[in-house]
Amino acid sequence: MVVYSKKITIKTKKKLDFVRITDLVRQAVKESGVQDGIVLVNPMHVTSSVYINDNEQGLIDDFKEFLEKLAPRDFNYHHHLTGEDNGFSHLWRTIMGREVVVSVQNFELELGRWEEIFYAEFDGERSKNILIKVLGE
């Protein structure tokens, strides 16, 4: 069994951003040499998410509006009593999910026709790590 780990660093230019990382994950799978297995992609931070969906700007805008309705940025969260101002970003991460696991077959990601892997940043403009872990044979 091969276990391959790679950390990549992303620094978004905006506080809120959605970044397609499918190609970065594909590259890590190639580097791993795993023909048949799985890959885990984890953002390693409590105010960001990794998720799979369609790469379509209208949909990304819909996610932003949806999240804003569920947990508005300008709400006075209990978390703010600690001196922080990002209570919404923790909630958004929970809504969008923590990480993804994708099947690997023949050295390739097994994604559906329109599926892409995204890193969603909810408290950005600083460097954050993403863990890519490939397991298999």
Q: Render pLDDT for 71-130 as a digit per residue (tens, 0 to 9).
A: 999 999 999 999 999 999 999 999 999 999 999 999 999 999 999 999 999 999 999 999
Q: In what order do the strands lie in the sheet with 48-54?
A: 17-20, 115-121, 48-54
Query: Could you tell me the residue range of the domain that residue 128 belongs to?
Result: 2-74+84-136
Q: Render pLDDT for 95-111 as a digit per residue (tens, 0 to 9).
A: 999 999 999 999 999 99
% of the chain at pLDDT higher than 70 = 100
What's the number of domains the chain is made of?
1
d(CA 136, CA 35): 7
With respect to residue 79, please indicate whether it lies within any of the assigned structural domains.
no
At 58, which CATH number? 2.60.120.460
In the predicted model, what is the mean pLDDT of residues 52-56?
98
pTM: 0.96
Give 60's pLDDT tier (boundaries 50, 70, 90). very high
With respect to residue 60, please indicate whether it lies within any of the assigned structural domains.
yes
